[in-house]
Structures are given as structure tokens and as C-alpha cells.
Amino acid sequence: MSTISLLRQVNIINKKNKDILEATGANFNIFNTLCVASDEVRLHSRFIGELLNPKGSHGLKEEFLRVFFEQLVNNTDIKEEYIKKINIKEVKIDIEKYIENGRIDIFIKDNEKNVIVIENKIYAGDQNYQLKRYHDFCKNSKYNYKILYLTLDGKDATENSHQGIEYTQISYKEDIVIWLEQCLNLSSRYLLVRETINQYIVIIKQLIGDSMSNLNKKEIVELLIKKENLEDAFLIEESMLELRKEIVNKYLKPQLEELATDNKLKYSYKNVFARYGSFNFNIESDLKLSIKFKFQSLKQGNMICGLQYPLDEKNNRSIRLKNVNVIDIDNINKIKDHFKNLSLVSSSIKESNW
């Protein structure tokens, strides 16, 4: 089969499954509708914490927490002996637990001072001494504790955050998705709970760049794995980075430069095809503000935009400016539309500030 014919077959499969999603309403997702898909606190920490809570509104008592602990034993360096010490029927969950100089995203504690701390990172960077502060709090409180560092892909915390203390990395891509799929099975008789978890899994897969439906993926793999298609399949894969560069240089860059000129903005971009690559629109004023669009996935599927505040180099912190009226929201919306029209963004563009 020629490369062109192969692409046509993939297009047919993709269109068929899109039609199925449209016909069944499977494209509807309440978290996307409410624009909270990448909100660490209001969605992810609260949702995960509610499922882990034995007294949560889901009605399954400690079952979700039990399989979460099993997941930790099976997939991390946390030993079964430690988990067995936790009195699961007496566990309490705190979200955004206040401690001196910080807040713990998810705080799991039983009545015998056994504690699990979860630091939840979607897109936010590490704070100075962040994990070290949690370690010091637990140690000073004489807890028997473990610290989990949860990210999309299981990356390490920065040395500036952990300062050499022990912690365990877990990821949405592996640990959380697997755990949620186990929660789906447990909630088979709780239809509203099951459907909400299912929609949350869809959001997680969008964030980790795995939003293609399982059916779609299976059919395409079965097509590509045929002996006569393998060479063309690998050729297409090797061309993807160059394709993305061509899209940016030929279609996106000229339009963004024109938009910047028309609105008295200075356009630049940095490491667009690396993780955290960004398109920048500097505002020509003494405020040193810029509008920044950043990809949050290596597949360039997830994007956030917001204001880049000037940096106080002495304290290594952004200077937050009050009463900023130099940003025209229409400019930001126009730029958003350019990205969406070129299919460079797989979901809604989250707004944030840095």
C-alpha cells in the first residue's frame, strides 16, 4: 500500500470513529465545559481527594482508597508493611491543608499518626524548599509518613524543592489512570459515580497526550502493523516533527507576526517543539509584560496562555502588577483562534498567569 493510500485509510478510520463519538454524545465532557481541565486545586486535588475519602459522597466507603494503596505497593517503592500500618477505616482526607509556609495538596492521615502527603503538579513549577517543608512539618509532628510527588509523566522534583529528602514519584499517565480504571470497575453499580470517573479519565488522557479513543487507536494499529504498511508507517512517524515545523513556519508564524504588528506587540518564540515551548507577545511598554502561549505536552496537544509578569531578579519571583489595563482581550482571543484553526491544540486553551 502506498503512503497516500495508507493515509487515506487512517482518515477513513478516524472519520468513522468521530462520527460514532458525535452520534453517541461521547464528546461531551463536563470538565471541559466548565474550563477546569488543568486546574490543580479546584479539579484534580479535590476530585482525587474525594474518591480517596472513605466518607466521600461516592458511597463506596474505603474501597477507592484501598485500591489506591494497592497501586502504591505494586508500582512504587512504598512497602506493603507501611500500608498495613494505616487504619484505613479511620482515614481522614484534607485538601489544601494549611501548614506554616505552605499548603499540602492532599493530606491523608489516620488516627494513629500514619500520613501520606501528595504534592499534585499539573503545570505549576516547584516552589523553593516545597517538599522539604512538607518533610519538616511531618517530622516535627512526629508522623509516620510518606511523601508522593504526583505529575503528569512521573518526573523528578527539582533539587531546590526536595533538598535531598526522600519522596516517591507517581504519575497521572501510569498510576492515576490505572487506579481510576480500577475505580470504574468498583463503581459498576453506582452509575453517576462511574460516569463521572469515566469523564475524568478522558480529561487525564487529554492532558497526557493520549486522547485518541481506544477503538480508534486499535483500528489504526491493526492497519499499520500489516507487513506491507510498516515501512510507510515509520516514514510518517519520522516526518512528524518536520511537519509541525512546516505548519508553524508556513501558516502560523506569518499570521502571528502580522497580528503582533497590528496590535503593537513584539512577537517571538522559544523552543516551540520542546516541552514548555512558547509563543510570546511582548507588550511595548515600561511594564515589561508579555502574553505567553505555552505547550504543556511534548505532543503539543495541550496549551495554556496568560500574562508573563516581570521578574524580580533579587527574590527570583514575579512582580504582580495591579490595575493592568494594557491588555486587549480580543488580541488574546484572536491568537487562540489561530492555534485552534490549525489543529495544533487538542482541547480548550487554559488561561493562567506566571
Confidence of residue 211 (pLDDT cuts 50, 70, 90): low
Residue 108 has pLDDT above 90, yes or no: yes
Residue 210 has pLDDT above 70, yes or no: yes
150-194 confidence digits (pLDDT tens): 999 889 999 999 999 999 999 999 899 999 999 999 999 999 999
Confidence of residue 353 (pLDDT cuts 50, 70, 90): very low
226-257 confidence digits (pLDDT tens): 888 888 888 888 888 788 778 778 877 787 78
Span of 8-22, 84-98, 125-139, 316-330 with lowest mean pLDDT: 316-330
Q: Is the pLDDT higher at 325 or at 42? A: 42
Residue 330 has pLDDT above 80, yes or no: no
Q: With CA atoms as reference, report the closest residue to 124 among 173, 87, 80, 158.
A: 158
Q: Is the pLDDT higher at 110 or at 127? A: 110
So what's the pLDDT on residue 316? Answer: 43
Strand partners for 107: 94, 117
46-98 confidence digits (pLDDT tens): 999 999 999 999 999 999 999 999 999 999 999 999 999 999 999 999 999 99
Confidence of residue 335 (pLDDT cuts 50, 70, 90): low
So what's the pLDDT on residue 322? Answer: 44
SS3 280: strand
SS3 338: helix
Residue 57: what are its φ and ψ, rounded to 5°? -70, -10
Q: How much of the chain, in percent, has pLDDT values that exceed 90? A: 41
Strands 303-308 and 350-353: parallel
CA 149 to chain centre: 14
> What span, in angstroms and rounded, lies between the C-alpha atoms of 59 and 197?
14
- Average pLDDT value for residue range 17-28: 80
CB contact at 8 A, 282 and 268: yes
Burial 143-161 (b: 16+ CB within 10 A, else e): bebbbbbbbbeeeebeeeb
Q: Is the pLDDT higher at 298 or at 34? A: 34
267-325 confidence digits (pLDDT tens): 877 766 665 567 777 765 544 666 777 665 545 455 666 666 555 544 444 444 444 44
Structure pTM?
0.72
- Average pLDDT value for residue range 112-134: 92
